[in-house]
Structure 1
């Protein structure tokens, strides 16, 4: 085992470009391994395990490879698997309608929207969050400290009409995954965060992952930053105080390695559901640009499985490539930091 010199140089060069364009204190982590899910039970070959910059600007704390970091939408995969675990035990079905559990709540959601529609971003429900807005804006229409439980989102999910009939198109929808978190805890009678912990994180051995409050982060969690009025500020006022169905969990590079291994090893949901989430639903429309979308994760050309997220003070990418056995995760403490590193590593790995 050991760092691959070419990968490290590519990552270092990309980080240098990030800090030149942004700030020398941007925090980044990256880990690349070969092996794991593609070739059990051999130990993975660690090609890169590195960190750069600061995890906490206020206290001048350096980032380490073991720091926890936010995932933004990357944890939609956790939500999807918690829901699919309920499908596996018969508590929910892919054909279960949202209305059957919502009752009179969110009346603008069509009665024929199903769990599968929501998981695949083919529900057509109105979106509560503008993904194209400037990340420095304060986007939550209610105080962020009020958003703790999925039920807390009902007032801000309401009032958005269907954009298209369920199953007739594709539109990435954060609100759909918040609705899934509401459905999951109502169906199971168990709080959403507990469902994710017991049905996804614990089976995967992800001991450093979860949904800490942003105003009470553990000491080994990196702080996200956003530039407001020309100054870097923490993102604590920009995002829900506790992550939910559409994003906000914290994890580590090692835990993401555990995640892919457990997912593809059938330790979170059965193999038939793993196969189902890796298959893009048929229908008009789609993400395009070399991507498809399964149930809770992105599918790249060549069969790679991807979780990714971007938000105020967060950039996150984690992927497993079954064809090569590569698993790699990159995360940054600004909305833009991770992407040059992702591109540089992809080019280096392809070469």
Structure 2
């Protein structure tokens, strides 16, 4: 099946910068790389370029929590107060790990997308270069009031995953990024992935670009995102490494079968045919699970990756621009999985 002809027009339309990788259970179906990882130096992206994936790595946090459940260290029914020694004076005492994982805890978010449109605005009062660990996020939401009662509804929440990362740190004694790199990336042989500081990026890492189309100018996202990623987003991965993550998850290398199934359960309804498991979106068609997917958007970053259980096909599309992966993923889906 020739995916190339389906994708080329969309690549031109969005002026795509990044990698497109499509694979079935055994073979690469389609692989294509576009544009620059560094525009000033005219360094081209490659299949092994590292890209920021923003919230795409909430799945890593959810897997880490599930690993601690597998080990008997945690239960998804644990209350927040029972597993984290940090004071949240206005938080409901009944908040559980399950609610944090499913964006239904009701805690205040440091970036509420219903109120704010531009993630960059966060760093006008608190410089992004101060956000080097998870605790640096706490002043942005720790003393705020609840948004709604725990379990009442779905409301996408970055702060909830910061709290989950703090739980991981307390329960393991490791820095969050150290735990993920040792217990997820190494297990899956994701040797090119990590949580890198923006002022110490390794080679083969794409800079994120923010385009001002009206002026015909661009700038990097260096001052637009936290200097180092954490439990709610900001890891860097390669497209082949993300393939290894999907393969590791669905072959039970990372979790027991029971915990894997729990992570992949549609726990809460969002809208249309979209549900949410633990750190992962779940789309249905005709009352069947069509795909499991993750996505991430930051200034200068966009990312989509999906696993289709009926076929074993996986799609990974990271980009070092604000847009592109969603449209490309939809075009590939429309051709591979015609309704």
TM over 0.5: yes
Residues 292 and 158 of structure 1: CA distance in aligned 2, closer, same or farther (over 3 Å): same
Q: Please show how residues 211-230 of structure 1 align to structure 2 within 5 Å.
A: 211-227=195-211, 230=215
Give CA deviations for 1:76-117 in whole Å, capped at 9, x if unaligned. 000111111111112221111112244452222211111111
User: Displacement of 1:325 after TM fit?
Assistant: 1.3
CA RMSD of aligned residues (A): 1.7
In the alignment, which residue of structure 1 is the partner of 2:57? 75
Q: TM-score, normalised by structure 2?
A: 0.93
Give CA deviations for 1:306-349 in whole Å, capped at 9, x if unaligned. 11111111110111111011011111111212222112111121
SS at match of 1:116: helix
Partner Cα distance (2:86, 2:39) in 1: 46
In the alignment, which residue of structure 2 is the partner of 1:190? 174
Q: Confirm or deny that 1:97 pairs with 2:79.
A: yes
User: Displacement of 1:188 after TM fit?
Assistant: 1.5
Residue correspondences, number: 330
Q: Please show how residues 304-319 of structure 1 align to structure 2 within 5 Å.
A: 304-319=291-306
In the alignment, which residue of structure 2 is the partner of 1:249? 235
In the alignment, which residue of structure 1 is the partner of 2:271? 288
Q: Which among 302, 318, 329 is matched to residue 316 of structure 2?
A: 329
User: Displacement of 1:134 after TM fit?
Assistant: 4.1
Give CA deviations for 1:164-205 in whole Å, capped at 9, x if unaligned. 111121111011001100111012211111111122111111
In the alignment, which residue of structure 2 is the partner of 1:159? 143
Q: Confirm or deny that 1:299 pairs with 2:300.
A: no
Q: Confirm or deny that 1:275 pairs with 2:261.
A: yes
In the alignment, which residue of structure 2 is the partner of 1:137? 120
Q: Which among 8, 14, 30 is matched to residue 4 of structure 2?
A: 8
Partner Cα distance (2:75, 2:9) in 1: 48
> What runs of 5+ residues in structure 1 fail to find an aligned partner?
20-25, 36-43
Partner Cα distance (1:105, 1:248) in 2: 26
Q: Which among 43, 47, 66 is matched to residue 29 of structure 2?
A: 47
SS at match of 2:266: coil
> What runs of 5+ residues in structure 2 fail to find an aligned partner?
none
